[in-house]
Amino acid sequence: MCFKTLPVEFDERGNAVLRGGIPNPYDVTVAKPDVDLSEEERRERIESLVARNGHIKDLNMDPVTRIAGALAVHVTADLDKRAYLDSHAQATLFRGYEVILMGRDPRDAIFVASRACGVCGGVHAHAAAYAIEQAMGIAPPPLGTVVRNMTEAAEMGYDNPLHLYLLAGPDYSESVIRSSNPELWPLAERWSCPNEHIHGFKTMSDLMTALNPLTGALYREGLEFTRLSREMVVILTGKYPHPQNVVPGGVSTTVTLQTLNEYHSRLGKIFDYAQRMMAVWDDIPAFFYEADDRYQFVGYRPTTQIDPGYWDDPYAYDATYENCNEWGEKRWSTPGVVIDGELVTTRLTDINIGWEEFVEHSYYEESSTTRFAQDMLGNPLSPYHPWNKRTLPKPGGRDWKDKYTWACAPRWDRKVVEAGCYSRLLMTAMAQKIPDSDFITATGTSMRLLVPKGEVGEREVEWHAPARWNALERNRGRAYHYLFSQLVGLESLLEAYKLMKQGEKRVAALDPSALEKAIPQDERVSVGWWGAGRGWLTHHLVMDKGKITNYQICTPSTINASPRDPWGQPGPYEEAVMNTPIIEDVSDPSRFTSIDMLRAIRSFDPCMPCTTHVHTGEGEVVREVNTCSCGGD
């Protein structure tokens, strides 16, 4: 029984049904999550503290740099108690991709949706393809799925080092430590790195110097490896970030032995680097925990995460909603929801029907609908579900108590869940449903990964689900996810060789004229479940008379940057900041840089470009913006 808040239970055949006898079962005053601290209580507490304490600063960091896209974070910081009392995340960019998609031919969706994000630009093209395929009932041939898996593994190969070394890394670099955490520097100079034999840095201070922006060896090596992985992507997609090869029902890549070898030879160079990456991001948390135990709480949130899975089994994936629980659980990365450390489901239908998006603290009028009461299998759907969503914007002044962002608040079973690439490790490890592999094993609490030999020897590494998810663990998880994704790339490459041996050449289900004829004229509803560099990605699609009538994108940063919900629960960034102790040296309050908050925020790898959406209803402009928040009135 995975739902605790929503009044949904399961019959003996495992189908979801609404618990009987509850009027307005989805009303926000009826199905309420347990909340520790209401918004009013939090505000009262802050107000009483402000009255007594002159050390409280109210500051808006706009823009936060070294993230992708535009984000501002407002904090109320108590420098005396060394705590962030309050925090509000606001994205400051608004665009119009969904509105542009609506009313179009579904064949436009892949290339237009791709432009939603250029940071991990391939993922939206793929998610759109999955949504269209489900709506049209066309499944790609195995080689098509395998090419997609190879592409998306390589894309993670670019995304993870970009974040770890260009965006997050400088927060742990010599330049920042000596200025914001001077007390740590002498320690770092004395601290010998346990993993020196792998990454080559003798002391933590050497390692931190290599993290310096632009001049540091690790920063530069990270940049080079993002390029190498992008070469692997463009061998298959033609260009990056917006791939030119994704088509409904497969890909249009011309796959030859040369293609596979060009991918293969580059992949071969990555494994040594992956070993160094994990060694670096194992040593950094070790040093910080040892230096000051409070680092356990920088960016801390409970273990409550969600992921729809990633990288399909080419033989199981059949593009149907009806069989999604079977093919979903065969993904290389298992779908799942973990609530307070407990894996409550791995079924895509549960993930889908528990999903809602709220606008109480966003510049919208309430606009849920009951257009679809059930999904295609008869499972109940909330009026706040993306298929039912119609959002009416109402720009206004910024008021932390009321509306302060263009963001909406996605929740699962009305709980605040987090998305991340590391969630893939967590779900897959706990579920133990991963396909058989010589390289990847899930143990229930950890992932055992075998790194093939490069110039450095073969080695087995193990990622353990952390007891406490914080900024350092997110970064460590990302480093292990890098290896995980590259091993999926390797497995998929081997599958491609196997298919080629069997003489398999087909990469798409339909040719262009058959595709045109296959566009259905009746109403179809579908969802593409996929992933991005930051985890979760879904595209919910409705089409009718061969035309897109509703299109809803939910990205990982939409989830993580979300504002308060109807019950006052802060979004993941906000919650993580409020849990973060102020450890930096603030003996002189004017020296307060807010580095601890920055480390917390950046560990989520915020990626704001694609968190902003709009859509129109009939006639009037009706905008639906998932996470675009504008920093003020």
Partner 1 sequence: MADRSTRSPVRNPRTPAQELLDELGPVTQFHDTTHLGAFGMPSGAMTEDMLSSVATAGTPTRFGPLEKVHAFWFAGMSCDGCSVAVTGATLPSVESLLLGAHPGLPRVVLHHPVINMESGPYYLQPAEQAMAGRLDAPYVVILEGSIADEVVANASGGYWSSTGEEPWGPDGDLRPVTSTEWVARLAPNAAAMIAIGTCATWGGVPSAEGNPTGAMSLMDFLGKDYRSVLGVPVVNVPGCPPIGDNFTETVAAVLYFLQGFGPLPEFDELGRPAWLFGETVHRHCVRGAYYEEGQFAKDFGDPECLVEIGCWGPVVNCNIASRGAIMSVGGCMNAGGACIGCTMPGFPDKFTPFYKRPPGSMASTVVSRMVGSVIRPLRKFSNNNMNREVRWDRQHATPSAFSREKSEPSALAHVNHKFYDALRRSGDTSRNDADVWGKRQDEAPSGGSPRTRA
In Å, the largest CA–CA distance within the chain is 77
Q: What are the start-end ranges of the E strands in 332-433?
A: 336-339, 342-345, 355-358, 364-365, 392-393, 409-412
**Paired tokens of 466:** 């952390």
**Interface stretch with partner 1, choices 186-194, 432-440, 465-473, 590-598 (CB under 8 A):** 590-598
Compute the least distance from the CB of residue 294 to partner 1, in Å: 17
Compute the least distance from the CB of residue 256 to ligand SF4, in Å: 16
Rg (CA), the chain: 24
Between 5 and 244, CB nearer to ligand SF4? 244
Does residue 166 belong to the site contacting partner 1 (CB under 8 A)? yes
Does residue 123 belong to the site contacting partner 1 (CB under 8 A)? no
**Paired tokens of 271:** 């494994």
Contact in structure between 188 and 204 (CB atoms under 8 Å) = yes
**Interface stretch with partner 1, choices 95-103, 274-282, 477-485, 575-583 (CB under 8 A):** 95-103
Return all residues near 250 (Cβ < 8 A) that are at least 6 apart. Answer: 140, 141, 144, 145, 147, 506, 507, 508, 509
Does residue 95 belong to the site contacting partner 1 (CB under 8 A)? yes
Compute the least distance from the CB of residue 356 to partner 1, in Å: 25
Does residue 391 belong to the site contacting partner 1 (CB under 8 A)? no
Q: Which does 235 bind (CB under 5 to 8 A by kind): partner 1, ligand SF4, none?
A: partner 1
Contact mark string toward partner 1, 222..251, x via CB under 8 A: -x--xx--xx-xxxxxxxxxxxxx-xx-xx
Q: Which does 69 bind (CB under 5 to 8 A by kind): partner 1, ligand SF4, none?
A: partner 1
DSSP-assigned letter for residue 301: B
Between 199 and 230, CB nearer to partner 1? 230
Compute the least distance from the CB of residue 449 to partner 1, in Å: 27
Between 375 and 584, CB nearer to partner 1? 584
Name which of residues 209 to 268 contact ligand SF4 (CB under 6 A): 239, 244
Q: How far apart are CA 602 and CA 71, in angstroms?
A: 11
Amino acid at the residue 136: M
Between 239 and 591, CB nearer to ligand SF4? 239
**Paired tokens of 78:** 């108590």
**Paired tokens of 198:** 């792998």
Name which of residues 511 to 530 contact partner 1 (CB under 8 A): 511-512, 515-516
Q: How far apart are CA 130 and CA 127, in angstroms?
A: 5
Compute the least distance from the CB of residue 249 to ligand SF4, in Å: 20
**Interface stretch with partner 1, choices 62-70, 417-425, 468-476, 531-539 (CB under 8 A):** 62-70
Compute the least distance from the CB of residue 79 to partner 1, in Å: 10
**Paired tokens of 274:** 């992956």
Amino acid at the residue 547: K
Q: Which does 227 bind (CB under 5 to 8 A by kind): ligand SF4, partner 1, none?
A: partner 1
Compute the least distance from the CB of residue 247 to ligand SF4, in Å: 14
299 Ramachandran zone, left/alpha/beta (phi>0; psi -120 to 50):
left
Does residue 399 belong to the site contacting partner 1 (CB under 8 A)? no
Q: Which does 64 bind (CB under 5 to 8 A by kind): partner 1, ligand SF4, none?
A: partner 1
Question: From residue 254, how far is each of 246, 259, 385, 515 by CA, in Å?
Answer: 12, 8, 39, 19
Question: Per this entry, what is the length of the chain?
Answer: 633
Compute the least distance from the CB of residue 309 to partner 1, in Å: 25
The torsion angle over the Cα atoms of residues 408, 304, 600 and 185, rounded to 10 degrees, is 180
Q: Which of 380, 479, 523, 495 is nearest to 437 (CA)?
A: 495
Between 248 and 386, CB nearer to ligand SF4? 248
- Binding residues for ligand SF4, rule: CB under 6 A, are 239, 244
